Structures are given as C-alpha cells and as structure tokens.
C-alpha cells in the first residue's frame, strides 16, 4: 500500500476541520428525537385493514405474500379469513393489490409499536379494527421532509 501524499493528508484534514467548524457554528443533525419529532413517511405504506364481509377466502393474499406473513384463520361460518403477522410484514401491499374484492385496504397508520412479538400477530378480528392512535405527550414536529425522494432537513426551533 502506497503512502498518501502530504497534500492529500492536508486537504483531508482541512476538510474535516471545516465540517467540524460548520457544525460548531450552525449545528445540524440527521437524527430525530422520536416521538417529539418525526420523519415524514414519504412513500411508506401503512397498516392493512380487512372487511371480512367482502372476503371470499380465496387465499390469494396469503399466496402472494413474499414474507409468509398471512395466515388464514378458520371462522365459525366455515370460511377462512386472513390475519397478518406484522413482525414479518414488509408493507409491500401485494396482498391489497391482488385481493379481487377489495376486502383488504390500506390505511394511513404507519407508526406501529409493540411491547412483545405476540402483539404483532393480528387475527382477522384484529384486522377489522384499526389500532388506536396514541398522540405523544409533547407536540410532534416533522424534522425531515422528502422532496423529489430526497430527504431535506427542516430547521427546528
Ligand atoms: S403487505 Fe406484503 S408482506 Fe405484508 S402481509 Fe401483505 S403481502 Fe405480506
Ligand atoms: S385475497 Fe381478499 S378475498 Fe381473497 S382471502 Fe385475501 S382478503 Fe379474502
């Protein structure tokens, strides 16, 4: 391995000092203090709802799921309805796209938090009822917005 030139070392050092000085004078950060601040969930998809009344138990959703997150649960009416394991789900929404009766639908709920892995496993009854939204105890600010797919920092007071 060849030794770097002195000019390269000097340039790298000056660049590093310039970054340090810039951040000292005008601090910037790319992390957010969740839940007081949050990212804008630009193209992220949300929690999936289910209307069992529309479901024909065709199982297409379970078959197309790339992570095997959907399990069909037997119902008292002899049908089978899908439940989703959100520990596996990658929110691709293939299941929604393929559902021939629109029994599965997207929601804007994108923040899901669980205490335990078992809580991530939603049965069809749970899929019928969107999760309760709890507001953080301080106001939330959007710290990073996406413009044309590129994250832009928003200056916070
Ligand atoms: S959104 Fe994708 S990963 Fe999640 S259950 Fe549907 S098909 Fe499976
Ligand atoms: S694809 Fe739609 S109709 Fe078929 S089992 Fe899944 S939710 Fe029910």
Flag the least confident range among 26-30, 53-57, 63-67. Answer: 26-30
Domain that holds residue 68: 46-127
Q: Tell me the mean pLDDT in the region 26-42.
A: 70
147 vs 81, higher pLDDT: 81
Look-up of token digits 């599965």: 104
Residue 74 lies in a domain: yes
CA of 81 to the centre of ligand 2 (A): 7
- Atom of ligand 2 minimally distant from the CA of 102: 2
Q: What is the CATH number of the domain that holds 98?
A: 3.30.70.3270
∠ CA 63-68-72, nearest 5°, is: 65
Please count the structural domains in the chain.
1
Mind listing the pLDDT tens digit for each residue in 84-115?
Answer: 999 999 999 999 999 999 999 999 888 888 88
Q: Is residue 102 part of a domain?
A: yes
pLDDT reading at 143 higher than 70:
no
| pTM exceeding 0.75 | no
- How many DSSP H helices and E strands does the chain contain? 4, 7
- For ligand 2, the distance from its centroid to the CA atom of residue 108, given in whole angstroms, is 20
Instruction: With respect to residue 8, please indicate whether it lies within any of the assigned structural domains.
Output: no
């Amino acid at each position: 391995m060849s030794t770097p030139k002195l000019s390269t070392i000097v340039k790298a050092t000056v660049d590093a000092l310039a970054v340090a000085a810039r951040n000292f004078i005008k601090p910037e950060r790319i992390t957010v203090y969740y839940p007081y601040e949050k990212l804008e969930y630009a193209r992220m998809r949300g929690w999936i709802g289910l209307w069992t009344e529309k479901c024909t138990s065709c199982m297409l959703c379970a078959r197309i799921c790339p992570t095997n997150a959907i399990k069909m649960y037997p119902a008292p009416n002899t049908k089978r309805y899908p439940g989703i394991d959100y520990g596996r789900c990658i929110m691709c929404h293939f299941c929604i796209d393929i559902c021939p009766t629109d029994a599965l639908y997207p929601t804007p709920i994108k923040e899901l938090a669980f205490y335990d892995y078992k809580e991530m496993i939603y049965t069809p009854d749970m899929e019928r009822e969107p999760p309760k939204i709890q507001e953080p105890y301080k106001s939330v600010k959007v710290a990073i917005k996406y413009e044309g797919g590129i994250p832009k920092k928003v200056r916070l007071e």
